[in-house]
Amino acid sequence: MEAAEKKELLSLMPSELEAWMLEAGEAKYRVSQLFPQLHKGLSPEEMTNLGRRLQEKLQASFFWHLPQVEQKLVSALDGTVKYLFSLADGNCVESVVMRYEHGNTVCISSQVGCRMGCKFCASTIGGRVRNLTAGELIGQVIAAQKDLGERISNIVMMGIGEPLDNYDNVLRFLRLVNCENGLNIGYRHISLSTCGLVDGIERLMEENLPITLSISLHAPDDETRSAIMPINRRWGVDALLDACRAYFTRTGRRISFEYTLIAGKNDSVSNAQKLARVLNAKLRSRTETMPIHVNLIPVNEVSETGFRHSSRDAVNAFARTLESKGIRATVRRRLGSDINASCGQLRRAAMKNAANGTPAADTEEV
Ligand code: SAH
């Protein structure tokens, strides 16, 4: 059987593995041996406690591949680790591990490339190649944990790709990482970031998973937002904030907003005033107050986009304006700035170098 026709072992839930075991004439309890080892990053070949016969059956029926470390960069400033992982078909994605006092957080990619077309983002140049499978999504967490030899306790889906554009695999992944016998990462320790696919937000709220939703807003009005984020032409700011409100009402989970500050595009005090006005108007009423938190991120300059980041004064003035209107704002500390930890750029560098036939270069870009 060709590898492509076989089911991917890392994508399967314990209940699905149990069903397979029964069909294969094996005992159900075998899953309690198989699943934890799989999620520690072992291949079926390495699981000698399963016995030769079961190992062979697994190899005959399933396809197994863990993302391979192609490049690993460690920040000398804060210990942030950035991985370029290769997948079974040779495509590459990036994952970043950030070290906090409360534990390790991994930022994972959800697609190979992205088709959302945000003008400031490196991941979208070249479009979407394909979705990642649930096994490739969890594989990034497992491979990073295995390489570091330390537990990863938090996940953010803020890497390459739009998670809600890969809805089914992402949902399967969320359920997989939450399994007790596997990584056992609680939903409250997982954040999912979206550029604003309202249909996906509406589906997600019905799942009622207590994950944290993060919205990449980046502009307070349709004109400004549509100019930098094409998705806004499908769902405008009003529709997006209505979906946020419904999400909060339904799940009780707070939503955080990301706002990337780009010099001269969306970073004026009047943009901040508008932002405060629209957030307060849409998300706060007399009866119900949704906690609103805005993360301000000076845009990470990508050579292809030509956008410049805002001055420190502009960032501070923006934050002060929001705060004065009752909106909590934090200026995001940039971790791993010496290794260019923000996503998309390592993959692009590797793709360019592959095209040139030279080995992938270090990613330093000043
Ligand atoms: N597609 C999802 C998640 C991936 S991007 C989303 O849009 O939310 C993760 C975050 O990085 C988003 O807020 C995105 O807008 C932001 N981002 C992308 N390119 C950036 C850049 N050059 N500088 C700063 N933030 C950027």
For residue 226, what are its two tokens?
């549509």
**What's the gap in Å between 231 CA and the centre of ligand 1?**
13
Cβ(300) to ligand 1 under 6 A? yes
Contacts 24+ apart (CB under 8 A), 23-26: 24/54, 24/57, 24/61, 26/54, 26/57
pLDDT of residue 287: 61
Cβ(232) to ligand 1 under 6 A? no
Burial degree of 312 (CB within 10 A; 0-12, 13-18, 19+)? exposed
The answer to whether 141 touches 152, Cβ cutoff 8 Å, is: yes
Neighbouring-strand partners of residue 3: none
pLDDT in tens, 77-102: 899 999 999 999 999 999 999 999 99
Residues across the chain = 366
pLDDT of residue 286: 59
The answer to whether 164 touches 197, Cβ cutoff 8 Å, is: yes
Question: What span, in angstroms and rounded, lies between the C-alpha atoms of 350 and 43?
Answer: 27
**What's the gap in Å between 94 CA and the centre of ligand 1?**
13
Cβ(216) to ligand 1 under 6 A? yes
Could you tell me the mean pLDDT of each successive run of 10 residues in the chain, 366 residues long?
76 98 97 98 96 97 98 93 97 95 96 96 93 98 98 97 98 98 97 98 96 97 98 98 95 94 96 97 78 92 84 96 95 77 68 54 26
**What's the gap in Å between 156 CA and the centre of ligand 1?**
12
- C-alpha dist (Å) from residue 49 to 17, 53, 133: 17, 11, 28
DSSP letter at 43 equals -
- One-letter identity of residue 334: R
pLDDT of residue 279: 96
- One-letter identity of residue 333: R
Report the chain's terminal Cα–Cα distance, integer Å: 48
pLDDT of residue 339: 80
Q: What Rg, from alpha-carbon coordinates, does the chain have?
A: 21
DSSP letter at 135 equals H
The answer to whether 141 touches 108, Cβ cutoff 8 Å, is: yes
Burial degree of 366 (CB within 10 A; 0-12, 13-18, 19+)? exposed
